[in-house]
Structure 1
């Protein structure tokens, strides 16, 4: 528990003590909005929103919800925060046409107030990764695990329903049979507490209602209460972007290739800085997501193979194996079928194609480099021009020659003169054989 949250809780405790559980008429209502799949970014946004509400001495937090579902771990973290909140939390499925499917149904059941707008629906709370197991034959390990997960989910939502006094039988049915309900039927079956046209209508209906929280019962005064809007800040937006599995995969690839560029061309620093940042962001995002570590291993192995192809004379075999390993790893990377947390196949093949093109480009550059004439070492030295800097006084056929930026002892078949231009015809250890530049080098020398 951080210092800000402790301060907020102390303020709430002091306010409750002074008011005797009565929310002051001037206390604000905090409005939070979730319009996407439930994931790590949603957890960060809502938990920090609840802490902000405590710091602002809000009397109520309203979560406007429209979600197709989300990750089980993220959903449970949000529910824990709601259950532990000293402030009442109302989840409002709105506007018309919105839904609280799968994880959204659990959050709705966990809230102190469950409300829906006309034309909305909730339900289909069966764990997504279990749904594909129903068509398989019984008595398999997968079916046993599926039953355990369904039973756990059913017990979890039934417990939430009993805690809030809502329809526990329908909640269990939503898990086991994946049924859904429109708003009007949900109110009739006591799955939700209220139907409201919009947020002001909901606040008018909640005015004067007493709600039991983790601290004590609180009576609301929401009719004329000021409304605070809190949108996701840069931190939540950044987390939402990098925890997208597609973005995480791209970041990891950019990171690996950036570091490769830095190792191949050290000194610029751009590849190392960009690659290091992207790789760390990608790995951080993956550890927040339900990933299959075999998929991560195959992706890294595929990238390693494609990089190795640029340095090993395997004629494309290692590189092709790397492309196959990368595609296979990317396909099985996400260990969930929750909507919004999959990697599209076109993106996988596009990244594999980019890697393959980069690989073939490196191979082509290597083949061209092999055909070029060497310009260094003995091959580059023989045939180059030099300048005589000094001549041995006792032997005019010996002297010193400046060739390719270095000073060499040289021997010639004709007398040498300082300042004379000569051509290197051979190298014998630390001594060069030279001839006058106007002469052609002798064959076989």
Structure 2
């Protein structure tokens, strides 16, 4: 069959009414121009765009849309041998009697780039990479997190190189994870995490597409709304549970008496060598490491054994 050329989105979805009318009229005008130049039936060809008309091979041959019906590439080459075609540089006589047919398959690299160039896959890679790097910054020393984060974000940027990226939206997504990191460092009323979730959702929705074009339909290039919903919900729940666990681990708020700090769990903020800074609850304290203990790394947990001067 031939025809049914009504414009649709890159993923096969319907376009918005305004952009669909514009693209359809442009395509119809192009077909009329080509058909007049090539001596083809313009009305029949125009219907393939405006009415999604489709023709069988015999109908297309009878109406003059096509010149041949061939069962194989070899038989087609035999039929067109000696035919004259019109080119911008003049008429050309085809000589196809001794041609060799070669088939070129896509390389693994081309298939890989095609996969990561899918907006949904690019979005998921970007999210995974951002989560991994954020966890690495919150808890330094998780080398696998840093490796996965860099790898995933690198692949995401490879995909974004093939897509119309809204860089402001990308900044919103990265800003969301910065807010998550700030919330982890100073757990409070959840203002940062709320702002982070909002930035992430807005950035995800606007990530792909040129929004300067009037009547633009984000469905042409955009992350599937189901993907945004699933990833956004999963991310929000994971961040909330993680920060809640962290808050419980380091304690809640400042004790009413400094003596109550003894026995509390804190997080090392600056190296204890032997004097540094730890966070107990939402407060920072100057701390000194016991002489008989090895100095913990930044991000590790410690227990307060005594107080002095408070």
Task: Classify the TM-score, shorter chain.
Answer: 0.5 to 0.7
Deviation sequence 1:332-390 (CA, Å, 0-9, x none):
54545668x654443322212331233023213322322372477789769x7xxxxxx
Instruction: Report SS of the residue matched to 1:227.
Output: coil
What is the match of residue 7 of structure 2?
Answer: 126
CA RMSD across the alignment: 4.1
Q: How does 1:15-414 map to 2 (within 5 A)?
A: 120-126=1-7, 128=9, 133-134=16-17, 143=18, 148-213=22-87, 217-222=92-97, 225-266=99-140, 270-290=144-164, 295-296=169-170, 298-335=172-209, 336=217, 343-371=223-251, 373-374=264-265, 404=293
Instruction: Report SS of the residue matched to 1:197.
Output: coil
- What displacement does 1:268 show? 6.0
Any conservation in 1 of the 2:80–2:94 contact (CA below 8 Å)? no
Instruction: Report SS of the residue matched to 2:102.
Output: strand
> Which has more strand, going by share of residues?
1
Any conservation in 1 of the 2:7–2:20 contact (CA below 8 Å)? no
Deviation sequence 1:246-279 (CA, Å, 0-9, x none):
1111121123223323433556654444433432
Task: Count how many residue pairs are aligned between Structure 1 and Structure 2.
Answer: 264
Question: Structure 2: how far apart are the matches of 1:205 and 1:310?
Answer: 72
Higher Rg = 1
Question: Structure 2: how far apart are the matches of 1:285 and 1:405?
Answer: 45
Distance 1:152 1:355, change over 3 A: same
Deviation sequence 1:143-199 (CA, Å, 0-9, x none):
4x7655444333333333344443333333333344333333233332233322333
Distance 1:349 1:365, change over 3 A: same
Distance 1:428 1:308, change over 3 A: closer
Deviation sequence 1:211-267 (CA, Å, 0-9, x none):
445666242324x64321110012321221111111111121123223323433556
Question: Structure 1: how far apart are the matches of 2:137 and 2:191?
Answer: 23
- What displacement does 1:282 show? 2.0
Instruction: Report SS of the residue matched to 1:220.
Output: coil
Any conservation in 2 of the 1:161–1:167 contact (CA below 8 Å)? yes
Any conservation in 2 of the 1:174–1:180 contact (CA below 8 Å)? yes
Distance 1:250 1:405, change over 3 A: closer
Question: Structure 1: how far apart are the matches of 2:136 and 2:246?
Answer: 18
Question: Structure 1: how far apart are the matches of 2:32 and 2:165?
Answer: 29
The gaps in structure 1 that reach 5 residues or longer are: 1-119, 135-142, 385-401, 407-423, 430-445
TM-score normalised to the size of structure 2? 0.65
Which shifted more, 192-201 or 249-258? 192-201
Question: Structure 2: how far apart are the matches of 1:338 and 1:184?
Answer: 36
Any conservation in 1 of the 2:129–2:151 contact (CA below 8 Å)? yes
Instruction: Report SS of the residue matched to 2:71.
Output: coil
Question: Structure 1: how far apart are the matches of 2:288 and 2:166?
Answer: 56
Question: Structure 1: how far apart are the matches of 2:4 and 2:218?
Answer: 17
